[in-house]
A and B are shown apart, each in its own frame.
Chain A
Amino acid sequence: MTDAPNFGPGTDAVPNRPKTSLIAEDARTKGRNAAEKRFRFYGMAAIAVGLFFLVVLAVSIVRSGIPAFTQTVVNVEFTMTEADIETAEGMLFKTKMYAQFLNTALTDQMNAKGLEVDVDEKAIQRILGKTGGIIREFYKGNPDQMGEPVAFELSASSRVDGYFKGRVTREGFVDSRFLKLSDLDLVDSLAQAGVIQQAFNWNFITGADTGVDNPGGAGIGASLVGSFFMMLVVLVLSLPIGVAASIYLEEFAPKNRFTDIIEVNISNLAAVPSIVFGILGLAVFIQFVHLPQSAPLVGGLVLTLMTLPTIIISTRASLKAVPPSIRDAALGVGASKMQAVFHHVLPLAAPGILTGTIIGLAQALGETAPLLLIGMVGFVARGYPQGFIEGFTDPNSAMPAQIYTWAARADVGFYEKAWGGIIVLLLFLLTMNIIAIILRRRFERRW
């Protein structure tokens, strides 16, 4: 070809070409402009679809989850004498006796109040949730309160709670041993008397998991602590190991077949299903190293294995993105290779490294599958760890595992709790992301 532009068939026919104008569009220009318009429309449609689903998701989560943050409570003031407590403590099933004392006291109080409906102890028992444990706990901590009237705020049973939240309606109500239709009349008059009311459920945020017959007492606090300790293990292990590995691979390692194999394998590891890491964790950490079962330490170790490839890949990418001129300049003024990397390259790559780390942590935070195998799913998050070290070793669950457990329980009250748990999990994630953004802003440097 010559240097002259080729105008299509018959190059010398240039003067004969139809006249084109920059103002009037010809067919081809129109076509190209239309294509671009269509493309813009597709792009906007894609974003709109994404936004639509995001809104649907957010609305359904909030709508289903908000009720978990309120709880129907029964306000009772009653007195237990030393003799009462001695009777209860003499039993095998002590908390049941405590609950019975409360039921009797409440029944008498309500009868004395002269409500329009009959109050019997069986009905009160159906209306109240599980109360014995809370009362026993209180008197164990405050033995000086014996014989004095004490005010308790106790959760109502799951069905009464559902009645206040619209889950249980009089229409189509079927009497069962859990609740009878006549109990609802009693509940209504108790609500009028101000004995039963809805209150903000702090216990949901701070509490621990409960047995399946006690949805009113269940909280996500203990498993939140479990998740926190797991994330601590993941952060403390995967960040230094991941960053060290990628700095070496990127800046120091010779490029040969061996490092190529390592590189390919790291990329492959990032795509391994998480359950595989669970099996590995069970075999290595629990059965071989004999670390405790159901412990956040083991959970953290397993999730570290899962997070490492993500961190290594993103760290290497951000190291690559640092212009070579920076390295050359550092080396040029006499810095050693290590000085060049640690004083100049690494600080510039820090924002990218942080982003990768947070993405890795967020992935790990939402992971349930590997936890199934190392014993963190079930009735596990049943209390807070004793101290900081025990936080790593005491059996505990994690938030996604807790949500999964609740969603599988028969009582609808737990289903609501599962949605509420999702809100708490999302807030936890959001906090992590915000911290990452703030840190990134502080480190960000332009050249």
Chain B
Amino acid sequence: MTFTKLTVSVLAVAALSATSVAARDQVQVAGSSTVLPYASIVAEAFGENTDFPTPVVESGGSSAGLKRFCQGVGTEHTDVANASRKIREKEIKACAENGVTDIIEVRIGYDGIVFASQINGPAYTAFTQADIFNALAPKVMVNGELVDNPHTEWSDFNADLPSADILAFIPGTKHGTREVFEEKVIAVGCEETGAMAAMIAGGMSEDDAEDACLEVRTDGRSVDIDGDYTETLASIDANTNGIGVFGLAFYENNTDALKVATMAGVSPSTETIATGEYPVSRPLFFYVKKAHIGVIPGLKEYVQFFVADELAGPDGPLAQYGLVSDPELNETQAAVDAENAM
């Protein structure tokens, strides 16, 4: 008796929900956890300021977001993919194979990557790319020769740095941040210390040397963090000597727990990043499925709202939170209005 009733009600619910499946009326966003905070600020404001429903913003990482984005056209697929790096050729191809051909690229601003340590820890106040390379690479230059990394303390290779054990918490490989860390810090350090030249002189091809440069030591002094910055912060909290890699916005929200180091003599701030003086920064993007504009209500309005001066401009809430606003925001706005695909 009750079973029949339950079954009937289940079927009824299933049938009713099936009818409402076709009409998705909110924008669906997924992707980078670096862009997620900004997207959530915009999504909340979009819901408060327009008659459209508040968009749904999921996290999961740039690669995962783009993968879902490229799975096809239709209401069951996401409309927007947030990414903390540019879309790759491979991903564009994967998109095209599933019929996602017209993709609008929107650059929302820049994000700085900073090195920070416990506020009461050793005086890590000035780093260069070479320091980070010397501390974390598996092979480094010592007295003009390329050897297995012998350094255990920062002062081993730079007398200006404190004599504290080397321990770094760097973003794991699934993060878009890792790519920037490798490209703008490790690779630069590799060249500056002459390790790359030594590798090529040692018989490596240039491509192989470039790849070898990006490796980090595996003896436990460099720890990959696969979770969010809060995990890095917790690790720093537990290790007085540790240094961690954070986004600028995260650091600025936690200045009472962290102290930041300069990189190549420049201290990170929205200004130094905007002028390009601070070397470790990257653009943040999101990608929009053009085929969904006009199908999903509010999609174009959401994108326009996101890049409007009031939101993404230097006085907007995104800059207030820590985004370095894009000096060329006007061009992005024009491209969005015209729906220019890549």
Contacts and interface: CB of A to CB of B under 8 A. Distances in A.
Interface stretch (A63-71, A170-178, A312-320): A170-178
A138 to B, nearest CB: 12
B13 A389 contact: yes
Contacts, number: 160
Contacts of A372: 60
A409 interface: yes
User: Interface residue tally of chain A, by bracket?
Assistant: 35 or more
A415 B229 CA distance: 13
B40 A136 contact: no
B6 A177 contact: no
A293 B18 CA distance: 13
Contacts of B76: 286-287, 290, 292-293
A410 B37 CA distance: 9
Contacts of A290: 21, 76
Interface in A84-100: 91-96
A223 to B, nearest CB: 13
- Contact residues of B: prevailing secondary structure: helix
Given A174-B256, A290-B76, A408 B227 contact: yes
Interface residues of B, number: 58
Interface stretch (A211-219, A322-330, A420-428): A211-219
B310 A93 contact: yes
Nearest to B229: A410
B56 A379 contact: yes
A176 B252 contact: yes
Contacts of B49: 92-95, 136
Given A93-B311, A212-B321, A408-B228, A240 B48 contact: no
B58 A236 contact: no
B102 to A, nearest CB: 22
A161 to B, nearest CB: 14
A412 B254 CA distance: 8
A137 B47 CA distance: 11
Contacts of A389: 13, 16-17, 20
Contact of A395 (B26, B33, B37): B26
B43 A379 contact: yes
B41 A211 contact: yes
A16 B48 CA distance: 98
15 contacts: A172-B256, A176-B252, A210-B40, A212-B41, A236-B6, A237-B10, A240-B3, A291-B18, A292-B21, A293-B56, A379-B58, A383-B53, A390-B20, A408-B228, A410-B249
